[in-house]
């Protein structure tokens, strides 16, 4: 029998199922666990959360056998190869560093950190430890957006001139996301980070076409917000990125949009344009007087005309994304550039520049 091959620090023997540990047992843990469960090359072996009630609810749903209230104890397990960080934003950089120290590969939900300085430290920690850090920007692996890039690469719309993209809905579930200190901001870092990350993936040519100017405008939080006065972070944010080649991208993230989450993208080219509706593009149309259980994320109700999602986790990219990350660990395959640690770091740096632009009322120049 041929000798089994191992892949890097914390790597798994070829052919063996990849052992998964989850840090955080709430919202993001659901779609990570669902995606891993669809993959016969993985096994979710443990979950950690400081909140015993969150752990109990998660285990009742997913039947994961091993639970921890301190994720550092979970990292001591030899049967964990890859850790998904689904904890609040302010903990991301710390957990990444601890995973690197333990020799575990890492998948980190957006953002990599709540500041550019901490994001750089997290990236450096993984580089020095020789572990893989994968930035979980699900839009990069969303089937509709991957098809969009294929059409663009065929030359169907000519030269890209302008991109417009947004993620908006009516407010966050998480108390940590409502607090500027634990979130890193408000709807800009929590929602607009998706269109920012995807615009980088589409336009930056693997980091060779830098963003050279940014403009940001955000509400001030608290009483300055349009709707969510209890949030210390903003509930409305817009930003503009200018790339080195002259292309502009306009991004938006807000908590003032009712009726369900909207993920929408428009791409304008010299020979055509493309519009993508990732959340209201269901092939199903329902009219209901009494309503039903679930239509799409953040919808208030299901009364009247609705477009219920068929498979949100699949269509938003989570299933493809996490399957690709597993292959990255198993065989050394590279994730798409928009999910690289460099792209994740650039997102935080750009967002920090947009906050500075909004605070100072000026364009911020740089190279991200």
Over residues 135-183, the pLDDT tens digits come to 999 999 999 999 999 999 999 999 999 999 999 999 998 999 999 999 9
Q: Which CATH superfamily is 18-138 part of?
A: NAD(P)-binding Rossmann-like Domain (3.40.50.720)
pLDDT at 3: 30
Residue 4 has pLDDT above 80, yes or no: no
250-285 burial, b for 16+ CB within 10 Å, e for fewer? bbbbbbbbebbbbbbbebbbeeeebebebbbebeee
Average pLDDT over residues 119-138: 98
343 versus 7: the higher-pLDDT residue is 343
User: How far is 368 from 242, CA to CA, in rounded Å?
Assistant: 11
Give the full edge-to-edge strand order of the sheet including 66-68.
66-68, 42-48, 18-23, 82-85, 105-109, 133-136
User: How far is 318 from 338, CA to CA, in rounded Å?
Assistant: 14
Residue 350 has pLDDT above 90, yes or no: yes
Q: Give yes or no for a contact between 343 and 135, defined as CB atoms under 8 angstroms apart.
A: yes
What are the residue ranges of CATH 3.40.50.720 in the chain? 18-138
pLDDT at 8: 43
The topology (CATH level 3) of 140-319+348-365 is: Dihydrodipicolinate Reductase; domain 2 (3.30.360)
pLDDT at 12: 55
pLDDT at 15: 66
Percent of the chain's residues with pLDDT above 70: 96
Averaged pLDDT score across all residues of the chain: 95
pLDDT at 277: 97
Residue 33 has pLDDT above 80, yes or no: yes
What are the residue ranges of CATH 3.30.360.10 in the chain? 140-319+348-365
Average pLDDT over residues 116-132: 98
63-75 burial, b for 16+ CB within 10 Å, e for fewer? ebeebbeebeebb
pLDDT digits (tens, 9 = 90+) for 198-254: 999 999 999 999 999 999 999 999 999 999 999 999 999 999 999 999 999 999 999
Q: Is the pTM of this model over 0.85?
A: yes
């Amino acid at each position: 029998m041929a000798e089994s091959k191992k892949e890097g620090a914390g790597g798994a023997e070829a052919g063996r199922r990849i052992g998964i540990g989850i840090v955080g047992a709430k919202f993001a843990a659901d779609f990570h666990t669902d995606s891993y469960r669809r993959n016969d090359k993985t096994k979710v072996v443990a979950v950690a959360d400081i909140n015993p009630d969150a752990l109990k609810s998660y285990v009742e749903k997913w039947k994961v056998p091993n639970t921890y209230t301190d994720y550092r104890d979970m990292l001591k397990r030899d049967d964990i190869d890859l850790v998904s960080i689904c904890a609040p934003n302010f903990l991301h950089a710390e957990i990444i560093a601890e995973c690197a120290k333990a020799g575990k590969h890492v998948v980190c939900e957006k953002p990599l950190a709540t500041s550019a300085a901490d994001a750089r430290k997290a990236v450096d920690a993984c580089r020095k430890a020789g572990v893989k850090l994968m930035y979980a920007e699900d839009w990069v692996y969303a089937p509709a957006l991957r098809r969009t890039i294929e059409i663009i690469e065929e030359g169907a719309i000519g030269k890209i001139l302008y991109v417009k993209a947004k993620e908006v809905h009516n407010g966050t579930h998480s108390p940590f996301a409502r607090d500027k200190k634990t979130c890193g901001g408000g709807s800009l870092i929590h929602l607009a980070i998706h269109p920012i990350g995807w615009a980088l993936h589409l336009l930056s040519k693997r980091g060779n076409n830098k963003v050279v100017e940014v403009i940001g405008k955000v509400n001030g939080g608290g009483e300055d917000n349009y709707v969510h006065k209890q949030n210390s972070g903003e509930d409305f944010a817009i930003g503009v990125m200018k790339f080195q080649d002259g292309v502009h991208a306009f991004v938006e993230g807000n908590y003032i949009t009712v009726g369900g989450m909207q993920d929408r993208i428009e791409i304008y080219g010299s020979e055509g344009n493309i519009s993508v509706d990732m959340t209201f593009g269901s092939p199903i149309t329902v009219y209901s007087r009494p309503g039903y259980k679930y239509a799409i994320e953040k919808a208030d109700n299901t009364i009247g005309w609705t477009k219920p999602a068929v498979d949100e986790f699949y269509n938003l990219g989570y299933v493809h994304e996490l399957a690709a990350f597993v292959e990255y660990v198993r065989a050394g395959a590279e994730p798409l550039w928009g999910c690289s640690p460099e792209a994740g770091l650039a997102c935080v740096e750009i967002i920090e520049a947009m906050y500075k632009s909004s605070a100072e009322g000026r364009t911020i120049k740089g190279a991200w």
